[in-house]
Amino acid sequence: MDNVFVEALVRALAVGTPLLLASLGAILNERGGVVNLGVEGMMAVGALAAFAVAVAPGGNLWVAVLAAMAAGALLASLHAFATVTLRANQFVSGLALALLGTGAAGLLGKRYEGAPLFNKVPDWNLAGFVISPFTVFALLLAAALAFYLNSTRSGLTLRSVGENPAAADVLGVNVGRVRYAAVLAGGALAGIAGAFLTLSYRASWADNTTAGLGWIAVALVIFVGWRPLRAILGALFFGVLYYLQFRLQGNSPIPTEVFSAMPFVLVLVVLALAGLRGQQGDAPAGLGRAYVRGER
């Protein structure tokens, strides 16, 4: 009984890790007023970049993670340029980047399909509790991000840019620069989420390795009301769901398609519940709108 519970928790934490990392990144840029629907794409390029570095002769895992961050941030920089500098629609830009990222990763990653990864990131065994260093990092990062947003001057600046960019501008904050930084950081975190998938969780590269996790991360941000610590619970919740899908598949009379559709159905339910509870009110007031000085 105990063992089953521990196994469920370990598994849920594992699937929850990319969700948590990516949603923390999205929380960061959404708190700064920029919606990023491109998480799926940034995760995909991060996953590929990490894998490509790690399988290369003498591939260093630290460098692999850095490459993932750089790849995620590079794609995010397109989002920042389009939405902050050129004031394009943030939602559609994110969608375009999700397409571009998953497409480019599938294209450029073709040569790595089926390649084995010998130097996978080793899991840690904390008193019988097997856990990936990525998971530990994600949990610590959630706490750090909560502290950053609520208790530091820089975090306050970021939130002011997300809530009321005009007021922040008047106080001498460079709205564009803060937003660029937040979007790049969010992209880098999505990249790490991808690195976890290819360097640890799957330890291989395949097209569509992100399998919709990026989209769930985006929805998670709304579900947890843009709060980093609550994101831990949200990620764990979807992690448990994936664990159940894994356990029940084939062992029950329920058709497998029900399980493969379940995370997406649940995202809809969760978003509807968030909407009914009026949780959209927790959204940063300036979210989703380009800031143009002098415009309301």
Partner 1 sequence: MRFTALSAPSAARAAWVTLAAVVVALLLCALIFFFYGVSPGTVYGTMLRGTLGDSTGLAEVARRTIPLLLIGSGLALAFRAQFFNIGAEGQLLLGAVFAAGTGLFVPLPGPLLLPAMFIMGAVGGGLWAGIAAWLRRLNVNEILSTLMLNYIAVAVVTYLIAGPWKGKDVRGYIYTDLIPERGFLSVVPGTQVHWPTLVLGVAGALALQWVLSRSTFGYALRVVGENPGAARYAGLSAGRVATTVALITGGMAGLAGAGEVAGIHHRLLEAGQISLGYGFTAVIVAWLARGNPALCLITAPVMAIILAGGDLLKIDLNMPFRVVDVFSGVILLCLISSEVFVRNRVTWGNGQAKDNTGSKANG
For partner 1, the binding residues (CB under 8 A) are 37, 41, 78, 81-82, 85-89, 91-93, 95-108, 110, 207, 212, 215, 218-219, 222, 255, 257-258, 260-261, 264-265, 267-268, 271-272, 274-276, 278, 280, 292-296
Rounded to whole angstroms, the Cα distance separating 39 from 86 reads 20
Rounded to whole angstroms, the Cα distance separating 123 from 14 reads 11
- The DSSP bridge partners found for residue 130 are 125
Which helix (H) or strand (E) element contains residue 238?
helix 228-248
Which residue lies nearer to partner 1 by CB, 134 or 284? 284
Rounded to whole angstroms, the Cα distance separating 230 from 77 reads 27
Which residue lies nearer to partner 1 by CB, 123 or 207? 207
* Closest approach of partner 1 to the CB of residue 85, in Å: 7
Contact indicator for 25, 144 with CB cutoff of 8 Å: no
Rounded to whole angstroms, the Cα distance separating 189 from 116 reads 25
Which residue lies nearer to partner 1 by CB, 122 or 275? 275
* CA proximity to 202, closest of 57, 17, 58: 17
Hey, CA dihedral for 174, 163, 227, 219, is it positive or negative?
negative
Which residue lies nearer to partner 1 by CB, 285 or 292? 292
